Structure 1
């Protein structure tokens, strides 16, 4: 997988299906400071395609953890210490191997009481298959507990096993329940150390379940690739950061592209999520930028499946994902947060294109002042409970191009513009400077509805075979054609 992924990452400026930089279409720079990035996706500061590096496979020794005292039989005493011994004995270029079996993690690292296992730069950790090798942790609700932690690490592959916990309680199913939980807070946590990011890390073919906060957390890091993982069964989905499948985060209130811990150039590709017990499947948070979320498959989620969390996330590319069902939006930009953690707009210039969105409440939702989003060539199929294919509220400069929308029942609108009531006053406003061009709406319940807005433009849209109303524009709204 690592080799094929590198090939994909080098295929720049070609058709979407052949690379991880995006389509070959020109994308206009988003308005931003000249010292910052200005083009979305996997590009460098000049806008040139950026090849995300992934670690080369190990060329040194293979260290078998059973040679250090680990017992792959279930219900052994503690295998975490033996795994740590193997990691300590390894040198850069070596691989620590976990043969098929179940490894009981009952102790934490002497240098970090929050983690069972601490990664080392240049040393890979690999099992014999996602379903054949299992790490079973005894961590259960401890603050900031992590099964595997990497802080400031580089050139590491973590692959081919499952992380789960001994938690036997119920799984999370109520987004308003702040008391549920159990198991480790994080399955894998990758972060910075003394202000320096983790980088050139590949996490692939892992199963992660029965965790409380994040299955995989990438914090203040860059060039981390998450590929082919399966995430499910969060023990809590309440407010304050519970039940996220994959979370890619910058640092709150830090927008410093030159910082050594600036969050960028991370890739989440080809992962699968069972969203029945996930608050969000994939979440981008704080000023993280120029990341790629592509070719993931998400079956349902309790809130927005792919969520840009309303804290300045900018110039990210979201493409070729499939989101089926779920109780809220397939893809959302901007988030109100809650009474404790108050959010509003995502940042400028995010690019959402070529996704397949089926039976979501809204296929795509942009709110709370999120500016300059490009929404292009998405395929949206409404279901019985769908409300809108694409809904735009206070989202200045949003552009909708070439999207195909179908389906829905009474009350569904393929494209809807409406007033944003804001969140306690944050992000309140109306759609402004929105361009709706060459979208195709066929066999849908209703077409285009504009309830609020100014400086709006409708150009060459196709609206055919509509059961209800093709177009409804509220009185007093001037729409340019």
Structure 2
């Protein structure tokens, strides 16, 4: 049984520096297994100001701040029920195999496992009791194939509202593993984030949610391939203790506004702000998954009030918008660490979002912790906007490419701390760190950086160093800016910056320029 905890050693700082900056090739359909070591960090993190009761510390901790282990289900201890014994035919283009799979699930008891041998299973019908889903999970009953590339579930769902291949509502102690979910949809894949009229296939590959206000819990989804879906590959809504590990997600059929083309989405409920509620979204783990982002709007998304989740050790190559996105609806105290994001068209990691057709996005919540990530060749490495408060951004390794704009960009984000990040690369217009005014979105989130601390960052062999266009109550401490092609430090007129121990060494930015000319 895999256990996840907030305490583990970090990876070496240069484990992926061999990756070429221009890398945009498709990753092969590999599985990245979650580590057997506990996950997280030994570092002490300062509690964040929070309006959420006594939940104050980010990551996999309880409300007192003590590290926890997220439980996952025990392996099957009972019978193995082979779906071919119930009439399923693993040959492609056979009859409808969904009824046989449902019969096997109905015959199983808690502790049993329903097994799908290698082959292709045609899912042509929905569950009689749930017309939105081909297959409905049951408490304590596992569903397992013979391998991600060997067992395929092929659905005929094609654009039906809220359609799901697999659905679990208020379920617990379930493992779903070792097969691929895809659809018969043969239309184009999504590639235009502004086009909301394309799509096809099921809305969701897997949808885990609450039932009558009670969360699903203790769920493990591992080693799945999911492709040719319209909205979310895996959706976890108003649930807790759901672990998603080693999955490969690609090929959304739509990536337009309104929720299309998300690889994995961890969501709270828009109207649920009580951490004591039975459907409070927390303690979910997204670890060791791989995403081909060429046809994904976002690879990993946290949305609505959801907290104390872990997003770790995922690999994302390319994404059309922000690859890992805290979507600007109150997400708080989450830990995002040790991910690798390569070649995204927008930010590698973003907190706050200016969009929203139905639910107007703005700031993420307080106290999120973004650390130890490798962010290579994205437009921005980390972006924090619209009033997202008290974010700790530390120990990230950011390597700019030819289309990169900023390493870390902070607009209206009070209390943000940038610490011990290493930033390199970029062309003439790239800035390693930039603080600027946020113009807001429809009146939401407008403001300037305030109460920011920029400490002990290393900017080396970059196009430009630190640029401050707006802000108040700003502190800079011992940032190393070395071997820079352009400006080391540029501060707009009228901005005061506290510079404790700044500028004593020849390797540090030598003073603050009061003009807009480059300080070399």
TM-score range, shorter chain: over 0.9
In the alignment, the residues of structure 2 paired with residue 457 and residue 221 of structure 1 have an alpha-carbon distance, to the nearest angstrom, of 39
Describe the SS at the equivalent of 1:91.
coil
Question: Is 2:7–2:38's contact at 8 Å kept on the other side of the alignment?
Answer: no
Which of 212, 227, 246 is matched with 2:264 structurally? 246
Offset of 1:387 from its aligned partner? 0.3
Counterparts of 1:105-184 in structure 2, within 5 Å, are 105-184=123-202
Counterparts of 1:81-480 in structure 2, within 5 Å, are 81-480=99-498
Question: Is 1:80–1:117's contact at 8 Å kept on the other side of the alignment?
Answer: yes
In the alignment, the residues of structure 2 paired with residue 269 and residue 13 of structure 1 have an alpha-carbon distance, to the nearest angstrom, of 14
Question: Is 2:354–2:441's contact at 8 Å kept on the other side of the alignment?
Answer: yes
Which of 52, 65, 72 is matched with 1:47 structurally? 65
In the alignment, the residues of structure 2 paired with residue 353 and residue 60 of structure 1 have an alpha-carbon distance, to the nearest angstrom, of 41
Offset of 1:340 from its aligned partner? 4.1
Q: Which residue of 1 aligns with 2:7?
A: 13
Provide Cα deviations, 1:190-213, integer angstroms capped at 9, x if missing partner.
Answer: 000000000000000000000000
Q: Which residue of 1 aligns with 2:515?
A: none
Question: Is 2:247–2:290's contact at 8 Å kept on the other side of the alignment?
Answer: yes
Describe the SS at the equivalent of 1:330.
strand
Q: Which residue of 1 aligns with 2:87?
A: 69
In the alignment, the residues of structure 1 paired with residue 56 and residue 359 of structure 2 have an alpha-carbon distance, to the nearest angstrom, of 28
Describe the SS at the equivalent of 1:87.
helix
Offset of 1:254 from its aligned partner? 1.4
Q: Name the CA shift for 1:34/1:114 in 2 (closer, same or farther; >3 Å).
A: closer
Offset of 1:34 from its aligned partner? 6.8
Question: Is 2:257–2:357's contact at 8 Å kept on the other side of the alignment?
Answer: no
Count residues in correspondence. Answer: 475
Describe the SS at the equivalent of 1:238.
coil
Offset of 1:366 from its aligned partner? 0.0
Provide Cα deviations, 1:77-120, integer angstroms capped at 9, x if missing partner.
Answer: 10000000000000000000000000000000000000000000
TM-score for both structures, normalised by structure 2: 0.90
In the alignment, the residues of structure 1 paired with residue 426 and residue 197 of structure 2 have an alpha-carbon distance, to the nearest angstrom, of 36
Question: Is 1:308–1:332's contact at 8 Å kept on the other side of the alignment?
Answer: yes
Q: Which runs of 5+ in 2 are unaligned?
A: 12-34, 500-520
Describe the SS at the equivalent of 1:70.
coil
Question: Is 1:36–1:257's contact at 8 Å kept on the other side of the alignment?
Answer: no
In the alignment, the residues of structure 2 paired with residue 398 and residue 33 of structure 1 have an alpha-carbon distance, to the nearest angstrom, of 17
Which of 12, 20, 40 is matched with 1:22 structurally? 40
Aligned alpha-carbon RMSD (Å) = 1.0
In the alignment, the residues of structure 2 paired with residue 454 and residue 289 of structure 1 have an alpha-carbon distance, to the nearest angstrom, of 29
Question: Is 1:21–1:49's contact at 8 Å kept on the other side of the alignment?
Answer: no
Q: Do structure 1's residue 32 and structure 2's residue 26 form an aligned pair?
A: no
Provide Cα deviations, 1:419-477, integer angstroms capped at 9, x if missing partner.
Answer: 00000110000000000000000000000000000000000000000000000000000
In the alignment, the residues of structure 1 paired with residue 458 and residue 52 of structure 2 have an alpha-carbon distance, to the nearest angstrom, of 36
In the alignment, the residues of structure 1 paired with residue 52 and residue 466 of structure 2 have an alpha-carbon distance, to the nearest angstrom, of 37
Question: Is 1:21–1:42's contact at 8 Å kept on the other side of the alignment?
Answer: no
Describe the SS at the equivalent of 2:99.
helix
Q: Which runs of 5+ in 1 are unaligned?
A: none
Provide Cα deviations, 1:385-420, integer angstroms capped at 9, x if missing partner.
Answer: 000000000000000000000000010000000000
Q: Name the CA shift for 1:102/1:13 in 2 (closer, same or farther; >3 Å).
A: closer
In the alignment, the residues of structure 2 paired with residue 226 and residue 130 of structure 1 have an alpha-carbon distance, to the nearest angstrom, of 14
Provide Cα deviations, 1:348-404, integer angstroms capped at 9, x if missing partner.
Answer: 000000000000000000000000000000000000000000000000000000000
Question: Is 1:20–1:292's contact at 8 Å kept on the other side of the alignment?
Answer: no
Question: Is 1:121–1:156's contact at 8 Å kept on the other side of the alignment?
Answer: yes
